[in-house]
């Protein structure tokens, strides 16, 4: 059996994502990186993500040297090589290994000569052209509704944020300023700590002692809006992968974390153990759960279109066909979650989506369905939140192009509801 390398693994991931519509997270959880050492795992993921982000530019460069597109695996080899070469990769190493990988495919080895010739031309002509090409655009199935919602200028800015990728954000269990000093990061206005450059995450100071966890700055805001108090009974619906559960527990709340996925809830349990925090973890259907809580956080299943700067595989693995079902599920979950609140309780509804139908519209329709339900815009006035992010119906809209000079943030919608 041929030994796996970062490039061969990246090629496999690209074939699965683009050809089979699979998500990177599912492939990694299924063991796609298990044959690699930690450094090569990180490199394989970086090569894959860089290629997905730059695939439009790569295709434009490659097209100059092809009469017609080759089969997918050969095309992905060209894309992978073009992106690496245009990012400064060593031409000899890149070309030789990728041509060799194609030679291992019985169906495509006859294309070795073509691939070798194209990659050598790309190595010479591609790097000078790379930055002259436009910022890659979102796929049409997603770009069109986003342009309708936010306008072309805003979507162009989001695409710049997506292409730039995402820095690493950490949430501190204790003092965020102390954490920033310990890891050499920047303290953001909302209290997250940002690292522009980092090595292996588990090698960072404070990982083993559980002083922090990885969580995008935008994803940390819903709990800050909920403002959990020590001793409050708080339910975290759809809790995995657990960053918000850890925030709730660190605030001293009596936390129940619930998710439908046993595999994903195992990650929550692991992170609780690493950080020394406590929560009751349940694997169950959110729509069937019963009980009464002082406060509730519903991070509802959604299109995840707000996370593309970290997950550029999503537009290739999805096509928007699930939007209608997700929107209906969100409404059902929101209605059920409201029934679990104690009198006078509060609920944060949030989605990591850029689509108003999964945020602003969802809350506006809930307000119309439930007499006496209201948003609490004052709860959104947490440190770092800018007034212009608060929406007409009383929610909070976050977008990837916000904080562009700091490295952006995930797209999120957040609203605090009270009866």
Q: What does pTM read for this prediction?
A: 0.94
State which of 101, 130, 159 marks the end of a domain.
130
Instruction: List own/partner pairs for 358-361 with CB under 8 A and 24 or more apart.
Output: 358/300, 358/302, 358/303, 358/323, 358/326, 358/327, 358/330, 358/413, 359/395, 359/397, 359/413, 359/415, 360/391, 360/392, 360/393, 360/395, 360/397, 360/413
Same domain, 274 and 368: yes
Same domain, 94 and 235: no
Same domain, 227 and 101: no
DSSP state of 390: B
**CATH number for position 292:** 3.40.50.150
Nearest 5°: phi and psi at 339? -70, -15
Q: What pLDDT does residue 200 have? A: 83
3 state DSSP class of 39: helix
Q: How many domains does one find in the chain? A: 2
Q: Tell me how far apart the alpha carbons of residues 205 and 211 are, in angstroms, rounded to a whole number.
A: 9
**CATH number for position 125:** 1.10.940.10
Same domain, 91 and 237: no
Pairing of strands 254-259, 233-237: parallel
Residue 221 lies in a domain: yes
Residue 36 lies in a domain: yes
Q: Give the structural domain span for 88.
A: 6-130
State which of 74, 104, 130 marks the end of a domain.
130
Same domain, 234 and 374: yes
User: Is 352 tagged catalytic?
Assistant: yes
Residue 198 lies in a domain: no
Residue 276 lies in a domain: yes
Residue 260 lies in a domain: yes
Residue 331 lies in a domain: yes
How big is the CA angle at 403 (ends 88 and 397), to the nearest 5 degrees? 125
**Cβ within 8 Å of residue 1, ≥6 positions away:** none
Same domain, 105 and 249: no
Same domain, 122 and 220: no
Same domain, 253 and 399: yes
Same domain, 412 and 264: yes
> Do 253 and 230 contact (CB within 8 A), yes or no?
yes
Q: Any bridge partners for residue 330, and if so which? A: none
Residue 204 lies in a domain: no
From 281, 302, 350, 352, active-site residue: 352
Same domain, 116 and 245: no
Token digits of residue 356: 């108003």
Q: What pLDDT does residue 2 have? A: 62
Same domain, 118 and 225: no
| Regions of the chain with pLDDT less than 70 | 1-2
Residue 202 lies in a domain: no
State which of 130, 150, 172 marks the end of a domain.
130
Per-residue pLDDT tens over the stretch 146-170: 999 999 999 999 999 999 999 999 9
Nearest 5°: phi and psi at 94? -65, -50
Same domain, 124 and 251: no
Q: Tell me how far apart the alpha carbons of residues 377 and 412 are, in angstroms, rounded to a whole number.
A: 16
Nearest 5°: phi and psi at 203? -95, -5
Per-residue pLDDT tens over the stretch 342-368: 999 999 999 999 999 999 999 999 999
Q: What pLDDT does residue 1 have? A: 42
3 state DSSP class of 220: coil
Per-residue pLDDT tens over the stretch 222-254: 999 999 999 999 999 999 999 999 999 999 999
């Amino acid at each position: 059996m041929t030994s796996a390398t970062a490039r061969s693994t990246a090629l496999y991931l690209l074939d699965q994502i683009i050809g089979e519509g699979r998500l990177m997270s599912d492939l990694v959880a299924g063991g796609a990186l298990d044959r690699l050492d930690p450094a090569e795992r990180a490199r394989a993921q970086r090569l894959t993500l860089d290629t997905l982000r730059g695939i439009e530019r790569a295709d434009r460069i490659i097209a100059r040297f092809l009469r017609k597109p080759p089969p997918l695996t050969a095309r992905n080899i060209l894309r992978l090589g073009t992106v690496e070469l245009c990012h400064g990769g060593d031409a000899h190493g890149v070309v030789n290994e990728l041509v060799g990988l194609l030679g291992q495919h019985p169906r495509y080895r006859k294309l070795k000569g073509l691939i070798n010739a194209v990659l050598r031309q790309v190595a010479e002509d591609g790097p000078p052209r790379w930055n002259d090409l436009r910022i890659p655009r979102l796929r049409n199935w997603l770009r069109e509704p986003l342009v309708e919602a936010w306008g072309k200028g805003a979507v162009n800015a989001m695409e710049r944020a997506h292409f730039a990728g995402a820095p690493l954000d950490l949430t501190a269990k204790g003092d965020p300023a102390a954490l920033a000093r310990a890891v050499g990061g920047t303290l953001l206005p909302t209290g997250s700590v940002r690292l522009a450059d980092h090595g292996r995450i588990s090698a960072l100071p404070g990982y083993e002692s559980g002083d922090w966890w990885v969580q995008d700055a935008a994803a940390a805001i819903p709990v800050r809006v909920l403002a959990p108090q020590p001793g409050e009974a708080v339910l975290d619906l759809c809790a995995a992968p657990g960053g918000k559960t850890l925030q709730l527990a660190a605030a001293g709340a009596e936390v129940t974390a619930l998710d439908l996925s046993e595999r994903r809830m195992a990650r929550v349990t692991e992170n609780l153990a690493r950080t020394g925090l406590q929560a009751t973890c349940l694997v169950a259907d959110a729509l069937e759960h019963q009980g009464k809580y002082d406060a509730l956080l519903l991070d509802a299943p959604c299109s995840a279109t707000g996370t593309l700067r970290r997950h550029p595989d999503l537009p290739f693995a999805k096509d928007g066909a699930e939007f209608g079902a997700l929107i209906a599920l969100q409404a059902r979950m929101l209605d059920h979650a409201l029934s679990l609140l104690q009198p006078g309780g509060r609920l944060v509804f949030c989605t990591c989506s850029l689509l108003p139908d999964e945020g602003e519209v969802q809350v506006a329709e809930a307000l119309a369905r439930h007499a006496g339900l209201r948003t609490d815009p004052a709860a959104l006035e947490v440190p770092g939140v800018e007034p212009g992010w608060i929406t007409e119906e009383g929610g909070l809209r976050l977008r990837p192009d916000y904080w562009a000079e700091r490295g952006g943030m995930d797209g999120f919608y957040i609203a605090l509801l009270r009866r």
